A and B are shown apart, each in its own frame.
Chain A
C-alpha cells in the first residue's frame, strides 16, 4: 500500500493543460485543461461534444493525447494503456459498470489479483474479510458473497468504487454516475464520495445535473467546444453563470437557414408513452417546418423517433401522418406513408456497411424499382446514380463498399437512400455527428432546401448551435418528457439548456 503523499506546497494530484486530441480531421479536444487536488471533489461540465469524455479517456489511458501536458503528482506521465493508468492510481467509474454477473461481489472486487494462501490457492477468507472491511469503510451494506447478477446499478457502482479503493486509487473519476440512480441511491453515493474525499483522494464528478453539482462538489471546470473555459470554486458561481459559460458563443452564422412557408401539420404525435423511456409525448411537425428536438443524451429523444417510425414499440398514444393513424411496430407502413428516419447510429442502423453504395441507396425503394417483381443491378445503379450525384457522394464507383467511405459520405448515402423514397416527413437523428465541417454545412443547406420545398423535418440534435441555427421551433426533452416548446425567435442557448438540465423547475430548492 502506498502511504502519505508529500506534505506542504504539494503539486496538484492531477494536472492537464492545453491537451489536444484529434481523430483524423475531427478535433475532439482543442485545449483541455483540468486540475484535481487531493481531498477535493471537482465537477466537470459542458454540453455534449464539449470534450469531457475525450479528456477522461486520455486520463484513463484509452486515448493518447496529441499535444499538451499531463502530470500526476507533479510528474509527467503518458499512458499508452488503461493498465498503466490503473497502476498509477487512477480509477474511472462508468455510468453502467460491467461486472461479471455469475461471480460473487467479492470475486468481482478482486478479479485478477485474488489473494493466495501459501499453497498457491485463492484465499477466500482473506478476500471476504477485506471486502467486508471495504464496505464498512464506505458505509454501505452489500453481502460480499452474493452474485453480482441482479444488483442494482447503484450497488454495482459501489462495487466498482470498492475495487478502486482496494487498489488504493488516489484519483477517482465518476462519469455521470447518477444518471440511472434514484434519490436515495444518489444520497448514498454522495456519502461514499465525501468519505473518499475526507481520506484525501481526488474526485472528479461529471454530471449534467446542476443541483447535484452544487450539493456535492467543491470546484467546477466548464468546457466548451473541446476547450477549457473556466474553473471556479462552487461557492462563487451560479447555475446561470455556468450555463452561460457552457454555451456562450455566436451561433447563427454557421447555419444557412432560409425562411420557408410553414403549412399544414403533417406529422402529429399524441400522448406517446413507453414506460420508463418516454412519457406523454405530444407534438406536431408542419409542412416546411424544421422542428428541433433538443435535450441531453439519454433524455429519450432517439427512442421517441424510433417509436414514431415503428422500429421501437410504444404502449399508448398515437402517430398520425396527414390525418391517418399509423400502425405500431411497422416501419414498412411508416415508409409507405411517407416517413423517413435517418437514424442516430449510421454504421449500425443506417447502412448495410458491407454492401455497396448502390445497394444501400436502393434498399428502401427496392419494391418500386422492381418491374413485374424483378429487380436488376441496372435499375439499382440508375436509381443510385441519381442520389449519389445529387448529394455529391465522394466515391468513384457505385460498387464501392459503403463501410469504406468517410463518415460524412456515409451520412450522405443514408440521406440519399431516404430522400429516394420522396418522404413528406424526414426524421433525422444527429444529422452531423462525427462528420467534418464542410459536409456539415452541406447537410444543413440540404435540410433548409428540403424544408423550403415543403418537407416537414424533425431534427434531433445534441448540438445546441445546430438546433438554434436550424430549427423553426425547439422542443426540449428531459428524462423522457417534453419540458419546453420554444419558438425560434425566443430560443436561446440558456433557456434550451435550462429546460434540458434543470430539475428545479419541478422541484424548487433542490440545491441548498
Chain B
C-alpha cells in the first residue's frame, strides 16, 4: 500500500506501465503453461510413441482438429463475454445436411455452400436474439437450439447419407500444400485466426468483449453495446460452425444428420483448457489454440499407442478438471497475496 504521502505537495507522480517485467508478463501466464505442456506432450509423444513422428500423423491430426479449431475461435469470444454456445455441433450437422439435400436436388455446389453459411448465420442470430433481446440465459437457449437444429438436420435427411459430391471440392478439402504433408485447409484456419486475434486483442470491439465479461453493468455504463456485441458474436459462431460443417462434409465425403454429434463439448473443453474463464472476462486466443492442439495431440498419440478410447476420455477429462481447479487455485493464491498480509496473518494466528 502506498502510505499517505502528502498528495498535493508531491510534484508529479510517475507511473510505470506495468508492475512486472516483460518476460514475466509474457511467460508467467496460464496460456503459456498450456503452450509449454503442449510442447512437452508433443516431444514426448514423437520420441516414445512409434509412428507419431511420421508426416502422415501430422496430416491427419490437422484434418481432424480443424473443425474444433475453427469453432473454438468464436467460442472463445462468446465465453469471454460470459455466455456459451452449445448449439455449434448441431449447426455443423444442419449445414452438412443442407449441402447434401441441395446437391442431391441438383443445385450447384457453390450455391449449397452459400445457403449453408446463411443458415448458420440465421441459426446464430436466433440464439443471439433469444439471449440478448428476450434476455434468456445462453446455457438454456443453446441447449434448446442444440436439440432443435439437430432435429431439423435429421428431419431433413432422415437416416440416409448423401455421399455424391463434386470431386473438385472433396479434393480441395484434403489437398496438401505444395509437396508437403500440410493440408491446405490450414490456410483457411490461419486467415480466420488472424481475423479473430485482431478482433479480440486489437480492436475497441474486443476491449468491449472483455469489459462485458468482467462487469456487464460497468460496461453498459461505459457505453459498450452489451447486447449488440453478444448478438454479433452468436451470428459469427453460427456462421463459423456452418463453415466447419461444409469442411466436415467434404472431408468425410458424407452429409448426415448426425455429423459431428458431441463436438460442442470437445470445443468447450479445449477453450476452457486453454485458459478461458467459464465466468467470462479472461482468456486469450493463443491459449485456446494450444488447448485444442494439446487435446488433439494427446488423443492421437494415445490412439497410436493402442490406448482405448475410454482411457483417452478419462485422461482428457482429468486434464480438464485439473486445469479448472488450477485456475481457481491460482486465483485464490492471487487474492491471498493481494490482501494486506497483516490481516491475513493476524487472522491465522488468532485462529490458532
Contact = CB atoms under 8 A, between A and B. Distances in A.
A303 to B, nearest CB: 14
Contact of B211 (A355, A369, A400): A355
A364 B15 contact: no
Interface stretch (B26-34, B81-89, B127-135, B213-221): B213-221
Contacts of B16: 396-398
A346 B105 CA distance: 60
Contact of A397 (B10, B18, B208, B338): B18
A404 B335 CA distance: 10
A331 B220 contact: yes
B15 A417 contact: no
A421 to B, nearest CB: 9
Contacts of A116: none
B221 A359 contact: no
Interface string B178-207: 000000000000000000001000111011
B349 interface: no
A367 B12 contact: no
B310 interface: no
Interface string A377-406: 100010001001100111111111100100
Contacts of A349: 217-218, 221
B26 to A, nearest CB: 12
Contact of B214 (A352, A369, A377, A389): A352
B221 A311 contact: yes
Secondary structure class of chain B's binding surface, majority of residues = loop
Contacts of A331: 220-223
A364 B222 CA distance: 5
Contact of A363 (B7, B8, B202, B207): B207
Interface residues of A, number: 48
Nearest to A403: B338
Interface in A353-372: 353-355, 358-359, 362-364, 366-367, 369-370
A191 to B, nearest CB: 41
A373 interface: yes
B234 interface: no
A215 interface: no
B17 A358 contact: yes
Interface in A325-352: 331-332, 334-335, 341, 343, 348-352
A366 B215 contact: no
Contacts of A83: none
A506 interface: no
Nearest to A342: B221
Interface in A54-75: none
A400 B16 CA distance: 10
A1 interface: no
15 contacts: A334-B223, A335-B223, A351-B218, A353-B218, A354-B215, A354-B281, A355-B214, A370-B204, A375-B203, A389-B15, A394-B13, A396-B16, A397-B16, A397-B17, A397-B18
Interface of B: 2, 7-8, 10, 12-20, 198, 202-204, 206-208, 210-211, 214-215, 217-225, 281, 338
